[in-house]
């Protein structure tokens, strides 16, 4: 090869190397890739921390107050291995800050936070109990064919909102028992004794067996109710069955004027084309527990958060 050609080859090699370095440095911006985790489906309580998620996990803060400043995302560390998901039924401690970061936040630490408390366990026709215990709100039912629908009678936001609840079955339940989250309800009482006359949407979580739980969204109107979705078995890769069906799960309802999204542990289960009611009377929310043919149900709720 002549000196002239050798010099031209060296120049060309430097040009190609420089172009490669330039392209690799701007590639994340061009392709849309990023090392900051997407927070669209993070738990609300973690989004308030400005945190990021580890795939397969639902990490939540432990005894750290929620900040009042605007949250920012942080990059997910690449050197820290992902921990093994916990199957423990132990509740996570959160703190509802003052002034509140969220539109509504109840960590159930204060027994006068607004949810109804009663003990009807000596009443054979209404054998049930609602109470605060160790940072949880609990509903017990001790007879068959009984429904408890309870509300703090707080109004939902007028615009788009996200509602998040962490819940579990506390003991081995029986076939066709369950808990639920009521929203966009026309409630006028803390205890809704006649659910057949009420008007609400319900996210219903059903115990069929210790390793088979199902979910459904239904719409109740006075004298009737209809399925918004059919019953669906909760998938093992999204729902935490954990310790014999007793593990905690984080449910979130994301509401816009035209859609309802249902998520469990940051996994999207459904996006429903359902318009929000225009009536401002349909703006309450609540918790639900029910028994059909068996003799009891025991449920617990760790926190209830609404953001908008």
Determine the pLDDT at residue 89. 43
Determine the pLDDT at residue 46. 61
234: which 2 tokens? Answer: 């909760």
Determine the pLDDT at residue 221. 93
Low-confidence ranges of the chain (pLDDT < 50): 2-16, 19-41, 50-91
Determine the pLDDT at residue 94. 65
Determine the pLDDT at residue 204. 97
Beta-strand runs (E) in the chain: 104-106, 118-119, 128-133, 136-141, 146-150, 161-169, 177-185, 200-209, 212-221, 224-227, 232-233, 249-255, 260-264, 267-272, 284-291, 297-307
With residue 3 as reference, give the H or E element that holds it: helix 3-31
Beta-strand runs (E) in 70-171: 104-106, 118-119, 128-133, 136-141, 146-150, 161-169
Determine the pLDDT at residue 285. 97
Residues 148, 291 contacting (CB under 8 angstroms): no
Residues 163, 255 contacting (CB under 8 angstroms): yes
Q: How far is CA 2 from the centre of its chain?
A: 72
Determine the pLDDT at residue 193. 78
Span 101-152, pLDDT tens digits: 899 999 999 999 999 999 999 999 999 999 999 999 999 999 888 999 999 9
């Amino acid at each position: 090869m002549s000196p002239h050609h050798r010099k031209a080859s060296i120049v060309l090699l430097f040009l190609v190397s420089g172009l490669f370095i330039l392209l690799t440095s701007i590639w994340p911006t061009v392709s849309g890739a990023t090392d900051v985790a997407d927070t669209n489906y993070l738990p609300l309580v973690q989004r308030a921390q400005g945190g990021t998620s580890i795939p397969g996990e639902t990490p939540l803060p432990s005894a750290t107050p929620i900040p009042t400043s605007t949250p920012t995302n942080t990059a997910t560390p690449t050197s820290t291995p992902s921990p093994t998901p916990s199957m423990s039924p132990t509740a996570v401690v959160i703190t509802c800050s003052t002034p509140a970061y969220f539109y509504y936040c109840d960590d159930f630490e204060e027994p006068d936070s607004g949810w109804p408390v009663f003990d009807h366990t000596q009443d054979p026709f209404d054998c049930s109990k609602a109470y605060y215990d160790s940072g949880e709100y609990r509903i017990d039912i001790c007879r068959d064919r009984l429904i408890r629908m309870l509300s703090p009678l707080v109004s939902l936001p007028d615009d788009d909102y996200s509602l998040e609840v962490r819940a579990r079955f506390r003991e081995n339940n029986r076939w066709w028992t369950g808990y639920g989250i009521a929203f966009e309800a026309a409630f006028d009482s803390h205890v809704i004794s006649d659910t057949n006359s009420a008007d609400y949407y319900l996210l219903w979580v059903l115990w069929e067996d210790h390793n088979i739980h199902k979910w459904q969204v239904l719409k109740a109107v006075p004298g009737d109710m209809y399925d918004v979705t059919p019953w669906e078995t909760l998938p093992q890769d999204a729902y935490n069955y954990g310790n014999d069906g007793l593990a905690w799960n984080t449910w979130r309802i994301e509401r816009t004027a035209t859609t309802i999204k249902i998520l469990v542990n940051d996994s999207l289960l459904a996006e429903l084309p359902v318009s929000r009611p225009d009536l401002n009377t349909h703006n309450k929310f609540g918790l639900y527990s029910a028994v059909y043919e068996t003799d009891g149900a025991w449920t617990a709720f760790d926190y209830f958060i609404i953001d908008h």
